Amino acid sequence: RMWRHSSEHKKWNGTGSTAHFQEIALERCYNYTQLVQPELRDRDCQKIREAFRNAFISKDPCSATEEDYHPLLKLVKQTVPCDKTVFWSKTKELAHQYTKVQREMFTLEDTLLGYIADDLRWCGDAGSYEMNYQSCPHWKKDCSNNFVSVFWDLLSKRFAENACGVAQVVLNGSISNAFDRKSTFGRVEVHNLNPMKVHTLQAWVIHDLGKFPSDSCSGSSINDLRWIVMQRNIKFTCHDNYSSVKFLQCVKKPEDSSCR
């Protein structure tokens, strides 16, 4: 058997960079700045794409630092109005459906950088100008300081630091721990809320339709969260099956018994 090209050999355990990463990033940037949030129409998408690429290209994909992304974050600066921040954990789809209907609410993926990067993968390689489309470091199996993890941790941190007024979080009551200290929400976002700016964290614990509820506001994981938030001098409220979110679930599955 012929010796294959070295690029066919998978170096890492994670999925490789998303095909057409550059084009998708640019297209999403234009879509967002021209159509979704036209108040950002003066942002230079070519420059943003370039700064994104420069953050990781030609670098060891397991040695990412926050500094690598500072030029990109500088270009993109965006503020979310008070009372409009929505965090989520294990409820991505539902949280996004919610902010799609409540147009003025923002998850991280409703901000420009989150919108550009949502569901994409990217990494390069030291000594190459190319992206690695074969494989990228897996955050658990290879290294935690890969460019995708460092990006989301940094963005999540900034997103939480900038929140003000009431902040909301949509949590999943159909898993055993609706609040997980090891999730990005539990590890990064909760600890970076600024008590001088955020007076209340409102949690919504949502059960999947037709699934047995496994956790609720009175469960021990939410109690952990309540304790952490109150220690930080922020008021905490929690509601099971918030009705506006429930209605969204029912639009998708009107035949469910709990929608009648």
Catalytic residues: 82, 164
The residue within the footprint of ligand DN4, chosen from 69, 185, 204, 242 (CB under 6 A), is: 185
Measured at the alpha carbon of residue 232, what is the angle toward residues 76 and 111, in degrees to the nearest 5?
20
- How far is 27 from 20, CA to CA, in rounded Å? 11
Residue 150 Cβ vs ligand DN4, minimum distance, rounded to whole Å? 8
Closest contact distance (angstroms) between CB of 22 and ligand DN4 is 19
Characterize the bridge pairing of strands 165-172 and 198-206: parallel
- Is position 25 an interface residue for ligand DN4 (rule: CB under 6 A)? no
159 lies in the binding site for ligand DN4 (CB under 6 A)? yes
Q: Which helix (H) or strand (E) holds 225?
A: helix 220-231
> Which three-class secondary structure state does DSSP give residue 217?
coil
**DSSP for 178-223, written as a single string:** SS-TTSHIIIIIHHH--TTTEEEEEEEEEPPTTS-----TTSHHHH
Of 43-51, 57-65, 149-157, 194-202, which segment contacts ligand DN4 by CB under 6 A?
149-157
Binding test (CB under 6 A) with ligand DN4, winner from 25, 51, 76, 148? 148
**102 or 149, CB closer to ligand DN4?**
149
Query: Is there a contact between 195 and 232 (Cβ–Cβ < 8 Å)?
Result: yes
Q: Which of 15, 102, 149, 200 lies at the binding interface for ligand DN4 (CB under 6 A)?
A: 149
Query: Which stretch, 25-33, 121-129, 183-191, 215-223, contacts ligand DN4 (CB under 6 A)?
Result: 183-191
Of 154, 164, 79, the closest CA to residue 117 belongs to: 154
84 touching ligand DN4, by CB under 6 A: no
Residues that bind ligand DN4 (CB under 6 A): 87-90, 92, 108-109, 118, 139, 148-149, 152, 156, 159, 183-185, 189
